[in-house]
Amino acid sequence: MLDILKKSNTSQFLALAMEMRRLGRSNQLISPLVMGTWQAGKKAWVGISDEETTKAIRAAIDAGITTIDTAEVYGEGHSERIVAQALSEVRDKAVYATKVFANHLKYDQVIEACDRSLKNLQTDYIDLYQIHWPSGNFNSAIVPIEETMSALVKLLEQGKIRAIGVSNFSRQELEEASRYGRIDSIQPPYSLFWRQVEQETVAYCLDNEISILAYSSLAQGLLTGKFATDHKFEAEDNRAKNKLFQGENYQRAQAALMKLRPIADRHQTTLGNLALAWLIAQPQTNAIVGARDTAQVVANAQAANIKLSSEELQEIDAIGRTVTDHLDDNPVMWNFAA
């Protein structure tokens, strides 16, 4: 195997090796690793280059990461436009997942938002269209989920979208939305260090064949082990408000990373890829992971080839719980009001 890797292009090998998975009950096939593009919008991120992001998205496709996740709110459409810039020539090889924000959930607003996203993405269909946050979040108007779902079902019938998903929904909200149309995916914050979704929602997803697209799958970089014990983010960086980077939570995470390192070393991989491999080994779970440049994308893609034994999965699980057992039940990862 090593000889093959030396003689061939690494990204081509990974593209062949990446095992595709069915999205819910739809006809869509997605990659177990999903390219996240929140950072491509630039807003709430520091040091992001459009040129590097474009190259990174193209590298994701080459590495077998066929599914690209974005949202209208990421830089007010900038992320979607960067995705289009990167992939318009290979649109047929990519799966586009984007989202409508909480302030656009009335019937006409959903239709208009979808049309904007189609224009931004330079495409005539969106593979997976998701409700980003339930109505009422971020001071948005309360809209009955039946109204929002009726618009999404209409878009599905028109062929403008090919599957419906939700993001940041509780189990109760997911159940209610499912009464008005087929939901094929849910996108919650989920990682080895953030596991509230396991309490109620995972069981419902397994029973109803709903794919889990985990965001912040590396706990916004914390699981890579690259941050020092005294690291401080710039105030405008959204991670400055991430609960995992604060106080005792952060210190527990650092201690857990020390325990995870020998397992990563056994597999000759990084801490980040070990965490991704653990996550995509969970039932019906796929991992959204962002990247600033091509090197990060190629490195992330290698996580799909790591095979963890049942004993290792249990060991990693136990180490992760030394962090998660001390967190409260609030599913939102950030102190946005702080």
Residue bearing tokens 């990247």: 291
Asked if residues 146 and 102 have their Cβ atoms less than 8 Å apart, the reply is no
Record the tokens describing residue 332, joined without a space.
Answer: 């939102």
Q: Which amino acid, residue 6?
A: K
CA–centroid distance for 270 within its chain? 19
Q: Is 74 a catalytic residue?
A: yes
Annotated catalytic residue, options 74, 96, 190, 250: 74
Euclidean distance between CA atoms 168 and 166, whole angstroms:
7
Residue bearing tokens 């062929």: 159
Closest CA to 35 of 2, 62, 1: 62
Asked if residues 129 and 152 have their Cβ atoms less than 8 Å apart, the reply is yes
Record the tokens describing residue 210, joined without a space.
Answer: 């709903």
**Which residues are the active-site residues?**
74
